[in-house]
Structure 1
Amino acid sequence: MTGKERILTIMQHQSTDRIPWVPFVGVHAGSIKGYTAEEVLKDADKLYDSLMEAHKLYQPDGMPVIFDLQIEAEILGCELVWADDCPPSVKTHPCEEEATLPCKCKLPTKESGRIPLVLDVMNRMKASVGDTTALYGLICGPFTLASHLRGNNLFMDMILDENYVKELMEFCTEAALKMIDFYTEAGMDIIAVVDPLVSQISPEHFTSLCHESFTTIFDYIKMKGAKSSFFVCGNATRQIEVMCKTEPDSISIDENVDIQAAKEITDKYNITIGGNIPLTTLMLHGTQQDNMKYVVDMIDNLTHDNLIISPGCDMPYAVPKDNTIAIGQTIRETDSVREMIKNYEAKDEEIDVELPDYDHLEKPFIEVFTLDSASCAACTYMMAAADVAKEHFGDKIDLIEYKFTEKVNIARCKKMGVANLPSIYINGQLKWSSIIPSKEELFNVVESYLK
C-alpha cells in the first residue's frame, strides 16, 4: 500500500498492512533546512523545500502542509507576534473591548493574508508527493478562532452571554467553511480542524456552544469528498466522547490523554484515533532509543485498527531529526527495532530543583506551567489570564511561567506533581488544570490569598 492508501483506508475503518505514520512537521521542517519559523511561514519556496526534505527523511504516510493556527486570525484583524522557533502567537483581539462580530466582508478569500502562499505550496506538494502521501490541510477550529478574536473575555461570555458566544461561533464556522473550500480545491486529502482550546472547557459547554459548529464543519468536509480530523491539544480526556458525537473521521490527541483509554471510546464510535508521542520529554529531549521504545510499546499495547501514530501536536522546532527518523523506522520495521532495543533502559537525568517555601511566602505566588505560551494556544490563553491578574494586582503578587520545553522545568513538574499542561498553581496549590479561569474567578481566588 502507499502511505496515502494506508491513511485513507484506516479512516474508512478497514484493515491496513501496518499502522500509518503522520509526523506533524510544522515549523520543525524549516529547522532541517536552517530556516527560521518566520521564514517558512512567509516564504513559499522555503516552506516547500523544507517539506520536501522532511518527506525524504521521515517517509511519512501523511503530513501537513502548514501548521499555523493564526492564518485566519491574522486575516480577521489580529496582530501577531513572530518568533524564530515557533509559529506566531496572537497579540491583539479585535473584539476584546466590545462583544461585537467581525464584518462578514472580512471572511477569508483566496487572496487574503497568507492564503495565496499556502495554496501555492499545497498545489506544489500535491504535484510532487500527492499520489503516494496523504496531505493534511489544517484549519483553525471555530472555538480557538473565537478566542483569538475575543481574547480571554470569551470565557466570561460563556457564563454571562451565551447568545453572543453562539453568534461568534457561527461567524467562525463560516470562516472555517471558506478555508475548507480552498484547501479541498487544492487537493488536500484530510482537513484537520485544530482546536486546542476545546480542551480548556467543560463537556457541557462544548455540547451547548460548540457541538453544532463542529458537526456542521465535519458534515461539510464529508460533502467535499475529503476526510476529517478533530485535533485537540491539551488534556482533552473529558471531551473525547462529546468530540466523537460530532462525527469526525478521526481524532488526534496529545500526551496529556491516555491513548489506550481514549481509544476505547473512539472505537465505540468507530472513529480513528491519532497520537500521542510526547513532544518535549521524548521527541525533543529523548534519545533515538527512547523514541523507539515508546513507539514499540504503543504498537504492542494498542489494537491496530482505527489507529494512526503521530506526535501529540505540532513538533517543536528543535526536535533532533534522528529521533523522528527513528520513530518512522520503528513503525515500518517494528520486529527488528523491538529486538534492537530489548535490553534498553532509559536513563533518568537527575536535575536538582529547589521549590519555594510555600508556607512562608511574603505574597501570593502564581506559577503557570505550560508547554510554551509562545507556541501552544491553550497555554497562551492560560498565561494571558495570569498576566491580566498580574496587571491588576501589580506588586501584591508574584508571577512566573515554567515552560515544559526546558529540561529544568520538566524536572520541576515532576517534583511538583504537575499532571497536565497548562496548569496554574498559587502558593504551591493546584487551582486550574486544563481549564482557563475567567477574570472574575481568578481575581476572587487571588483575593483570598491576600486576606
Structure 2
Amino acid sequence: MGKELLMKVLNHEDTGGQLPWVPFAGVHAGKLKGYSGKEVLTDASKLIESLREVHKLYEPDGMPIVFDLQLEAEILGCDLLWADYNPPSVITHLYDKEKGIPCKCKFPTPESGRIPIVLEAMRVMKEEVGDDTALYGLITGPLTLASHLRGSDVFKDMRKDPEYVKMLASFCAEYAQKMAELYIDAGMDVIAVVDPLVSQIAPKVFSNLFHDSFKAVFDFIRMKGVKSSFFVCGNASYQIEVMCETGPDSMAVDENVDMVPAKATTDKYNIALSGNIPLTTTMLFGTQQDNMKGVLDLMDSLENKKNLIISPGCDMPYDTPMENTVACAMTVHNPEEARAMVVNYSATSFDDIEVEIPDYANTDKVLIELFTLDPEQCAACTYMVKSVTDIYDEIKDIADYVVYKYFIKEDIARTAKMGLTNLPTMCIDGESVYISIIPDRDELIQQLTTRYNAKKGKHGEL
C-alpha cells in the first residue's frame, strides 16, 4: 500500500497509525550496484539500474530519483568538482566578481545539461514502480541556487543590497518552477524543493528576502496538481515557522532539528513532517540494532502520528551499509517485530576514541575549527568552509583553520567532546561563534582581527 499510504499522509488523512518510509538514497543508490557518484549521475542506464535496486531492497513507500543540488547550477554555467562518493560540488560562480541576473533564455528545457538523464530515469521508474511507490523529483531551492550563482558574497548582499538578493531569488524561483514542470510532466508525484542554506540565515531575513520566492514555487506545484516538500538541512529549528508560512504540503528536516517541537509547529499549519534518522552515527556507523532502536525512539517520541513520514535526515552517505537501511525499512513497516529484536539493545559508542583538544590560549594565531557534516555533500557546510577559504589570503598571517567531517569517527568524537550539537558550526579559539549561520566576509575578518590583537596583547607582544 506504499504509495497510497504516503499520499494519504500528504493529503493529511488518518492512516490508522501506519507510517510511510522514504529513504533518501542519492548516490548511495549507485553503491548498491558498484557505481561511483559520478557514474550514477551521468549515465541513465546505471542510474535506473541503481534505482531498481533501491526499490527492491528498501521497499520504499516513496523514493527520490536523483539527489543532486548542483544540476541547475551546472546548466547555468557553473563548473563542478566531481567526487566518487558524493554528488558534485560547485567550484565556480557566475557572479562572484560582479552582481548579475541570468537571462530568462537560460531557463531549462528537456535537453539542458544532464536533465535528459534524469527525465529518462523518471519515466522508466514511473512505468515500472509508479503505481505502488510515490516518486520524488528534487529541485534546488531559490536560496541555494542563488548562492551557487553569486558565491558566498550572497550573504553579504543580504545585508548590503537586499533588493539585488530579492531579484536574484525571484529568478531562481522561476527557474525552480521550470524544473518542477519538467519533472511533473515526467510523472513525479512529489516535488521536493531542497534548500540546505535556509538553516543558515535568520528567520527574519528569510521572511523579508525569500518568502515570496519560495511561496511562488509551492503555489506553482500545487497549481500543477502534485504534492510538495520543503527540504532543509542543518539546525532549522528557528526557521520552521517561516518555512511553514510558504505553504508546502510537507517538510523534511535532519537530525539537527528536534522533531517534537518541530512537529508541533508543522501540525499547527497542517503540514506533514519527514525525518530524521541520524545519517552518520546511526545509519553509516551504527549496527542494525542501532538503526531499529533509533527509528523506534523517533516514532515513540511523537505522540501524534498523523502527518508523519519516517526518513533519513538527508541524502544518505554513499557507504551506508545496506543492512542498516533494510533495518530502518523493516522497523517502519513492522515496528512490533523490531521491538522484540532490540530487547537487549546496547548502543554503539564513540566515547573510547581519544582526541586532543588544542591549547587555544597558547597558539600563535587564531584557530578556526570548522565542524561539518560533509563539506563536499552538504551545501551549508560547503559555504561555511568557503567563508574561510575565500578570505584565507587576507587572514593567513593571523589565523589557521582546520575542517572536521562528521563521517569520520575521530571527528564525531571530537564534535561530542567539544559539546557541539548542531552542524555546521564554526569555532574560533574553542568558542562556538557561528552555529548554523554563515558569517559574511567583513564580519568574519573583523572578528579574527580583534581576537588576534587580543591574543598578541595577552602574550605581551604589543
Relative to the length of structure 1, the TM-score reads 0.99
Displacement after TM superposition at 1:450 (Å): 1.9
Q: Give the equivalent residue in structure 2 for 1:382.
A: 384
Letter matched to residue 318 of structure 2: Y
Q: Pick the aligned partner of 1:406 from 389, 393, 408.
A: 408
Q: Give the equivalent residue in structure 1 for 2:123.
A: 123
Q: Distance in 2 between matches of 1:289 and 1:283?
A: 11
Q: Give the equivalent residue in structure 2 for 1:436.
A: 438
Q: Give the equivalent residue in structure 2 for 1:415.
A: 417
SS at match of 1:40: helix
Q: Give the equivalent residue in structure 2 for 1:11.
A: 10
2:221 matches 1:221: yes
Q: Give the equivalent residue in structure 2 for 1:391.
A: 393
Q: Distance in 2 between matches of 1:156 and 1:347?
A: 42
Displacement after TM superposition at 1:398 (Å): 1.0
Contact between 2:398 and 2:448, CA under 8 Å: does it hold in 1?
no
Q: Distance in 2 between matches of 1:367 and 1:400?
A: 5
Letter matched to residue 144 of structure 2: T
Displacement after TM superposition at 1:103 (Å): 1.7
Q: Give the equivalent residue in structure 2 for 1:351.
A: 353
Displacement after TM superposition at 1:393 (Å): 1.6
Q: Distance in 2 between matches of 1:43 and 1:75?
A: 17
Displacement after TM superposition at 1:253 (Å): 0.2
Contact between 1:389 and 1:442, CA under 8 Å: does it hold in 2?
no
Letter matched to residue 243 of structure 1: M
Structure 2 residues without counterparts, runs of 5 or longer: 454-462
Q: After superposition, what is the alpha-carbon deviation per residue over 1:104-156, rounded to whole angstroms, capped at 9, x for unaligned?
A: 21111111000011000000000010000000000000110000000000001
Q: Distance in 1 between matches of 2:144 and 2:300?
A: 35
Q: Give the equivalent residue in structure 2 for 1:210.
A: 210
Displacement after TM superposition at 1:386 (Å): 1.1
Displacement after TM superposition at 1:395 (Å): 3.7
Contact between 1:60 and 1:133, CA under 8 Å: does it hold in 2?
yes
Q: Pick the aligned partner of 2:449 from 436, 447, 450.
A: 447
Q: Distance in 1 between matches of 2:300 and 2:100?
A: 51
Displacement after TM superposition at 1:394 (Å): 2.0
Q: Distance in 1 between matches of 2:427 and 2:34?
A: 38
Contact between 1:371 and 1:405, CA under 8 Å: does it hold in 2?
yes
Contact between 1:63 and 1:134, CA under 8 Å: does it hold in 2?
yes
Q: Give the equivalent residue in structure 2 for 1:39.
A: 39
Q: Distance in 1 between matches of 2:409 and 2:70?
A: 28
Cα root mean square deviation, aligned: 0.8
Q: After superposition, what is the alpha-carbon deviation per residue over 1:339-390, rounded to whole angstroms, capped at 9, x for unaligned?
A: 2212212142310111111111111111000001111000000000011232
Q: Distance in 2 between matches of 1:124 and 1:347?
A: 40
Q: How do 1:243-262 residues align onto structure 2 when only pairs under 5 Å count?
A: 243-262=243-262
Letter matched to residue 335 of structure 1: E
Contact between 1:390 and 1:399, CA under 8 Å: does it hold in 2?
no
Aligned sequence identity (%): 57
Displacement after TM superposition at 1:177 (Å): 0.7
Letter matched to residue 211 of structure 1: H
Q: Give the equivalent residue in structure 2 for 1:179.
A: 179
Q: How do 1:7-406 residues align onto structure 2 when only pairs under 5 Å count?
A: 7-17=6-16, 18-302=18-302, 303-349=304-350, 350-406=352-408
Displacement after TM superposition at 1:246 (Å): 0.7
SS at match of 1:405: coil
SS at match of 2:246: coil
Q: After superposition, what is the alpha-carbon deviation per residue over 1:282-305, rounded to whole angstroms, capped at 9, x for unaligned?
A: 100100000000111112221210
Residues 9-18 or 52-61, more deviating: 9-18
Displacement after TM superposition at 1:409 (Å): 0.2
Q: Segments of 4+ in structure 1 off by > 3 A?
A: none
Residues 134-143 or 387-396, more deviating: 387-396
Contact between 1:136 and 1:189, CA under 8 Å: does it hold in 2?
yes
Letter matched to residue 330 of structure 1: T
Residues 193-202 or 390-399, more deviating: 390-399
Q: Distance in 1 between matches of 2:435 and 2:156?
A: 17
SS at match of 2:391: helix
Q: Distance in 2 between matches of 1:228 and 1:59?
A: 22
SS at match of 1:435: coil
Q: After superposition, what is the alpha-carbon deviation per residue over 1:64-102, rounded to whole angstroms, capped at 9, x for unaligned?
A: 000000010001111000000000000000011111111
SS at match of 1:33: coil
Q: Distance in 2 between matches of 1:97 and 1:377?
A: 20
Contact between 1:232 and 1:254, CA under 8 Å: does it hold in 2?
yes
Residues 15-24 or 269-278, more deviating: 15-24
Contact between 2:290 and 2:348, CA under 8 Å: does it hold in 1?
no
Displacement after TM superposition at 1:330 (Å): 0.5
